[in-house]
């Protein structure tokens, strides 16, 4: 996409035709736009399905439009009708197109009379890509089944017929019926004291993109952590999680001081079973989080500060297309660092920033030039693949550069004005730049040339003058690692007793890709890394050990892979095993046992790794 003229552009003036060009959605918002969703669904654990109806409120944009086009994936449509002001319904004709592997099925509803409300009666498939159904045996408590959603990037369409594009924002309310012993939560206002009666109602009064639609149900307890926050989790986990995230109110207050009021009312979070495929998901009002960040020392609480930061960058100001994903993730990673610094100290924030920067420096050179851009040209990838570490780490690095050039006080004021200006809107990179030029670059002349901004946003690689934070502890670890690898320091003499999670991550990240087996054995003998309960350390350790040829770690690695369904912590082990025929065979055995407990997204990713590594059949 070419750079647009640099004038302030409100989202309301963004051409609707441009929004309709979203490559991952069939929706035609230039013709008609969904503005509100009313859900009435029943949870059926036995059938692994949600069933009921979705009523869509419509804003017709084109007086000549004759149809409403929605995104669906594997939905079983029973009927579609218009709903009049007095509640009367009239059937509408519709066509459900054949399924596209990536996009699902285009649903075209004939509606020449332009009804304000359209009601769709439907049921989800047991294999819905956006839902995972767990048996009681797959949960911690072993008593009740569990279900949760993951709608980002384009999986909302697998459980709701919707215009599934981040450019389109909706309010919603929902009535959910469940078994009486099951608690239900959604990405809306939740009540920790709601009785377990199988009857739940939810309200999301703020317009959100469809990827923030979320639901979870199961044996869920709740513990209040502040005046506007609570933690939800299985009963055996909830107290640990509440302790781990007891600083949530401090985080909210810190972000408010920096970037303006928290506009969502409550900020709750739920710790899901280990099969959740991500570290966290910023669903409005209710962050979904992995149990792998509950380690007892708050060292991974930055995942929560990241998801909270999305309440400003992502949920409040949203990327209009997935090509603009760095507006969500780069801004959020920057804000995450500021929250972490204020609550847990500058040293930890600098370590995390340096970890991500060094990792990006190592990986970006092997990427295609287009993939190195913050705003890549469309390259025929699925929506879930459109985001990469570049969006997170190069994006946040760019904002740290702006902070350094303009000074923290002025940059904070600018960023707060940006969030206020675009609140509850979906925007493109070009709109962001159109606001930045007069309100930051031109306002403070001589601080940064516009050509530098464009190089960061549209250029490949990382600018040579990109600033890095200082970390004396990391520098000391660099010295010790070098001495260890050069046989000048034995493993047991490493000054590692006081290393935190990030420092172990840094030590392991910067070991050679193929480390000598004798070195791996020495590290394990000295520091007992095999079997670590810390999944961040474990993932890095097992990859090094597998690649080095240490078969003694295979059972512990398999346990890690079976227990954890988080993509980031599991896929690297599959990739490491897949490097050798014997390892590939072992990985296939592990996957056969672990598959039933994985989320559909994790299953798809693992199967792709195994298929790519397997010899082609003649």
Residues linked to residue 118 through DSSP beta bridges, in sequence order: 56, 82
Helix (H, G, I), strand (E, B) or coil at 313: strand
SS3 string, 30-94, reads CCEEEEEEEEEEEEECCCCEEEEEEEEEEEECCCCCCEEEEEECCCEEEEEEEECCCCCEEECCE
**Cα 574 to the chain's mean position, in Å?**
21
**176 touches 200 (CB < 8 A):** yes
392 is annotated as an active-site residue: yes
**Cα 82 to the chain's mean position, in Å?**
35
- With residue 568 as reference, give the H or E element that holds it: helix 567-577
Instruction: Please tell me the distance from the alpha carbon of residue 209 to that of residue 152, in angstroms, as a whole number.
Output: 10
Longest pairwise C-alpha distance within the chain: 83
Q: What is the token pair recorded at 20?
A: 């309709």
Q: Give me the residue label for tokens 């002349």.
A: 445
Instruction: Please tell me the distance from the alpha carbon of residue 350 to that of residue 483, in angstroms, as a whole number.
Output: 24
DSSP per-residue string spanning 467-524: -----HHHHHHHHHHHHHHTTSS-GGGSS-TT--HHHHHHHHHTS-SS--HHHHHHHH
223 is annotated as an active-site residue: no
**228 touches 252 (CB < 8 A):** yes
**Which of the 8 DSSP states describes residue 104?**
B
**403 touches 469 (CB < 8 A):** no
Q: Of the residues 200, 392, 506, 591, which is catalytic?
A: 392
Q: Of the residues 152, 234, 244, 307, which is catalytic?
A: 307
Instruction: Please tell me the distance from the alpha carbon of residue 599 to that of residue 128, in angstroms, as a whole number.
Output: 10
Q: Give me the residue label for tokens 């740290």.
A: 400
Task: For 277, list phi and psi in degrees, rounded to 5.
Answer: -80, -5
Instruction: Please tell me the distance from the alpha carbon of residue 214 to that of residue 338, in angstroms, as a whole number.
Output: 27
Helix ranges (H only) for 248-287 are 248-259
Instruction: Please tell me the distance from the alpha carbon of residue 457 to that of residue 455, in angstroms, as a whole number.
Output: 6
**Cα 567 to the chain's mean position, in Å?**
11
Could you tell me how many residues make up the chain? 618
Helix ranges (H only) for 260-407 are 302-309, 326-344, 346-364, 383-386, 389, 395-406
Count CB atoms within 10 A of the CB of residue 71: 25
Four-residue CA torsion sign, 507, 510, 511, 513: positive
Enzyme catalytic residues: 307, 392
């Amino acid at each position: 996409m070419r750079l647009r003229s640099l004038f302030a552009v409100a989202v309301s003036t963004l051409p609707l035709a441009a929004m309709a060009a979203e490559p991952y959605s069939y929706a035609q918002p230039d013709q008609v736009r969904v503005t509100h969703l009313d859900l009435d669904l029943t949870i059926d654990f036995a059938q692994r399905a949600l069933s009921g109806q979705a009523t869509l409120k419509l804003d017709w944009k084109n007086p000549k439009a004759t149809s409403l086009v929605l995104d669906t994936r594997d939905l079983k449509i029973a009927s579609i009708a218009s709903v009049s002001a007095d509640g009367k319904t009239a059937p509408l004709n519709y066509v459900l197109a054949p399924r596209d592997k990536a996009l699902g099925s285009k649903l075209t509803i004939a509606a020449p009379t332009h009804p304000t409300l359209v009601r769709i009666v439907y049921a989800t498939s047991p294999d819905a890509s956006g839902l995972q159904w767990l048996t009681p045996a797959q949960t911690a408590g072993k008593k009740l089944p569990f279900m949760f959603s993951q709608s980002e990037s384009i999986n909302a369409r697998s459980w709701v017929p919707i215009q599934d594009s981040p450019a389109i924002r909706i309010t919603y309310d929902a009535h959910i019926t469940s078994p009486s012993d099951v608690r239900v939560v959604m990405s809306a206002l939740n009540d920790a004291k709601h009785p377990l009666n199988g009857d739940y109602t939810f309200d999301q009064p703020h317009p959100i993109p469809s990827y923030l639609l979320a639901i979870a149900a199961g044996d869920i307890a709740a513990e209040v952590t502040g005046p506007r926050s609570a933690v939800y989790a299985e009963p055996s986990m909830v107290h640990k999680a509440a302790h781990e995230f007891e600083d949530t109110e401090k985080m909210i207050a810190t972000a408010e001081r920096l970037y303006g009021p928290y506009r969502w009312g409550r900020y709750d979070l739920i710790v899901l079973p280990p099969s959740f495929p991500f570290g966290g998901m910023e669903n409005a009002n209710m962050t979904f989080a992995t149990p792998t960040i509950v380690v007892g020392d708050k060292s991974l609480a930055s995942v929560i500060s990241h998801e909270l930061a999305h309440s400003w960058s992502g949920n409040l100001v949203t990327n209009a297309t997935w090509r603009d994903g760095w507006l969500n993730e780069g801004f959020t990673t920057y804000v995450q660092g500021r929250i972490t610094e204020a609550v847990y100290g500058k040293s930890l924030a600098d370590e995390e920033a340096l970890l991500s920067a060094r990792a990006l420096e190592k990986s970006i050179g092997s990427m295609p030039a287009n993939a190195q851009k913050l705003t890549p040209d469309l390259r025929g990838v699925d929506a879930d693949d459109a985001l990469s570490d570049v969006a997170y780490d190069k994006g946040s690095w760019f904002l740290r550069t702006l902070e350094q050039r303009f000074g923290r006080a002025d940059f904070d004021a600018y960023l707060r004005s940006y969030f206020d200006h675009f609140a509850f809107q979906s925007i493109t990179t070009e709109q962001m730049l159109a606001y930045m030029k007069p309100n930051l670059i031109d306002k403070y002349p001589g601080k940064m040339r516009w050509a530098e901004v464009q190089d960061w946003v549209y250029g490949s690689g990382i600018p040579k003058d990109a600033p890095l934070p200082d970390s004396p502890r990391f520098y000391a670890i660099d010295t010790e690692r070098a001495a260890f690898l050069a046989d000048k320091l034995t493993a047991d003499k490493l000054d590692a007793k006081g290393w935190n999670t990030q420092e172990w991550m840094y030590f392991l990240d910067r070991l050679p890709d193929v480390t000598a087996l004798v070195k791996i054995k020495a590290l394990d003998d000295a520091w007992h890394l095999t079997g670590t309960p810390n999944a961040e350390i474990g993932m890095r350790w097992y990859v090094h050990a597998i690649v080095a040829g240490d078969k003694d770690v295979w059972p512990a690695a398999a346990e890690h892979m079976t227990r954890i369904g988080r993509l980031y912590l599991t896929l690297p082990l599959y990739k490491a095993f897949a490097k050798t025929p014997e390892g590939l065979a072992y990985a296939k055995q592990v996957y056969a046992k672990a598959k039933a407990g994985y989320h559909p997204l994790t299953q798809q990713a693992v199967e792709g790794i195994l298929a790519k590594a397997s010899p082609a059949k003649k």
